[in-house]
Amino acid sequence: MKAKDERIHQSENSRSPARKRSSEGSMQTRFGIIKKLFFWYAVLIAAFYGTISVYYLSIQKILTLSDDIVNKNYRISSSAKAMIDSLISMEENEKRYSILKNPEYRGYFESSRQEFEDHLAEILRLLMGTKEVVPWEELFRSYAAQRQQMSLTFSAGEIPEDLWIPERMIDGWIQRISTVLATNEREVELAMRDLHEKGNLARRWGMVGVAVSLLCGVLGMMFLAGSMSRPLRELRRGIRNLARDGSSEPIRILSEDEFGELAFAFNEMLNRLKEEERMRADFISMLSHEIRNPLTTIRESVNLIEQGTMGTVNDKQRRFLGIARQEAERISGLLKNLLQLSKLEAGHPAVNPRELRPAGLVERCVQRFAPAAEAKSIGIRMDIQPDLPTLIGDPELLEQVLLNLIANAVKFSPPGSEVVVAVNCGSGREQVVFAVTDNGPGIPKSEQSFVFQKYYRASSFQHKIDGTGLGLHIAKHIVESHGGTVWLESREGSGSTFGFTLPLSTKECRDEKIEQT
């Protein structure tokens, strides 16, 4: 015993550095959640401000064109038309003055001439430094030459026959202004078309920007949701398996961010739990073997003394010897369960499969437990479906499972109640379903997921009813080693139904389907 304790202590010391190294190890995050969110926001901001920039530049171009149309082309057009009106007025007043010799018409002529000069000066100012100013400069030079001649004529006190400006010259200026005016109007038309095109272009780029922003937003949300939900789903699966079965397989590390680090830490914790569980199982196995031999000696000694081999035994001594024998048998049963559990958890169940009848299995278990049920005034009723197919399994192990379920049902049922043991074919006649229903207090929904875990006992009965919490856990391992599943249906205050489902053999399934067809 001491030597084995030393070996276990050495084994723990040899594993502790590995655990220490494992705990010190950590996963390096490359592209964390903060970086992902920052990148997503950066893309959204870039798309948003890119769209705003395109809109701004387009609006600037539209405003420039509008400004040219309003402040240049429109004013040139208005001034040119006013110049034509002034020239026409000058020509009319010249003719009236030449006929009527009325000085008033000369005043009108001077007024129109002044307006002509003002409008021409405004056009020259608007077009200063552009190529469009050339025809207006030519007009200005022609007018300036004629204006100089008019000044010389009036300074000499002469009144010309044609009165200041010849009619042909005025007509020529009108023709020239009309030509330039037509050119200006074409420029206005082209500018309006360009304005329309730029408006459409701005609208298209705006729609593209909005579409890109929406696409980036949706894709970013999908990416972030996927990068968060997949690791969380994997972690949730591992935690649920651990909570339901007390064990779990390592989960996949799907990302290299904080969720990946969390999954890595979960796997580290799982590995440590498995290592500690294996050490505990080894210790229990060793302890069970070491206690089993002296316990057998104690049991045999008690039996010999009780039988009178060592001398006469009075009633009081016999009663105490009976108590000692019962306690020794209880400890022996506990050690047997621990050894069996150790083998089952190690993945080496001693299963000896052979054909068995489900109905016969139920009948044997009910007969074996009938006296204990009668002692509590509890009836056991069998509900067996006729013509059940045979199963392939270990009769002793399956009998242990069913006896455990019946024992629990009788243990927790009140006196005068009834326990129902049922067996029938499942859907499709490809499995056999065993179920044991009691009228006990039921199991709270919050505790049902822990019922088949090792050492679990209902919180409301931990100090009222004896038990180790190993029976259902062992039953679960036995059923799963046969390819079946265990299940529970319970409602607090309305009793419970514990059951397990076993698959039929391949041959039986095929024969059943042939019979149905």
95 lies in a domain?
yes
Of the candidates 345, 364, 382, which is a domain's last residue?
345
Same-domain pairing of 328 and 378: no
Sign of CA dihedral 471, 477, 483, 489: positive
Say yes or no: 87 and 127 in one domain: yes
The residue range of the domain holding 260 is 255-345
Looking at the structure, tell me whether residues 319 and 368 fall in a common domain.
no
**Residue 459: its pLDDT value, please?**
60
Identify whether residues 376 and 339 lie together within a single domain.
no
Q: List Cα–Cα distances, 148 to 157, 180, 403, 442, in angstroms.
A: 15, 24, 135, 123
DSSP annotation of 415: T
pTM confidence score:
0.51
What's the CATH number where 274 sits? Answer: 1.10.287.130
pLDDT of residue 150: 63
The confidence score (pLDDT) of residue 26 equals 56
The reply to whether 107 and 124 lie within a common domain is yes
Asked whether residue 482 falls in the same domain as residue 465, the answer is yes
Q: Are residues 316 and 429 in the same domain?
A: no
Which residues make beta-bridge pairs with 379?
Answer: 418
Please check whether residue 263 lies inside any domain of the structure: yes
Give 18's Cβ-side CA count (13 Å radius). 10
Give the side-chain half-sphere CA count within 13 A for 384.
16
370 falls within a domain: yes
Residue 117 covered by a domain: yes
CB 55 within 8 A of CB 199: no
Please, what's the b/e burial string for 262-271 (b: 16 or more CB within 10 A of its CB; e: otherwise)?
bbbebbbebe
Tokens for 66, please give them.
């509008």
pLDDT of residue 323: 83
Domain total in the chain: 3
Assess whether 362 and 468 both reside in one domain: yes
CATH at 410: 3.30.565.10
In terms of domains, do 308 and 448 share one? no
* 190 assigned to some structural domain: yes
Residues 335 and 399 occupy one common structural domain: no
Are 333 and 466 contained in the same domain? no
**CATH code of 63's domain:** 1.20.120.1730
* Domain assignment present for 223: no
Instruction: Report CA Rg, the chain.
Output: 53
CA atoms within a 13 Å half-sphere pointing along the CA-CB vector of 289: 9
361 in any annotated domain: yes
Q: Is residue 30 part of a domain?
A: no
Residue-by-residue pLDDT tens, the chain, 517 positions:
444 444 444 444 444 444 444 444 555 556 667 777 777 778 778 877 777 877 778 777 777 777 767 667 778 788 888 888 888 888 788 788 778 888 888 888 888 888 888 888 888 887 888 787 888 888 888 888 777 766 655 544 454 544 456 777 777 888 888 888 787 778 777 777 877 787 777 778 778 877 877 887 788 778 777 777 787 888 888 877 776 666 667 777 777 777 778 888 888 888 888 887 777 777 777 777 777 777 778 878 877 787 777 777 788 877 887 888 777 777 777 777 677 666 666 665 667 888 989 999 999 999 988 888 888 899 999 998 988 888 889 898 899 899 989 988 998 888 989 999 999 987 766 889 999 999 888 888 878 877 887 777 666 555 455 666 778 888 888 898 888 999 999 888 788 999 999 988 644 443 443 344 3
Compute the half-sphere exposure of residue 352: CA atoms within 13 Å on the CB side of its CA. Answer: 4
Instruction: Note whether 189 and 268 are same-domain residues.
Output: no
3-state secondary structure 430-483: CEEEEEEECCCCCCCHHHHHHCCCCCCCCCCCCCCCCCCCCHHHHHHHHHHHCC
Provide CB contacts within 8 A for 515, sequence distance 6+. Answer: none
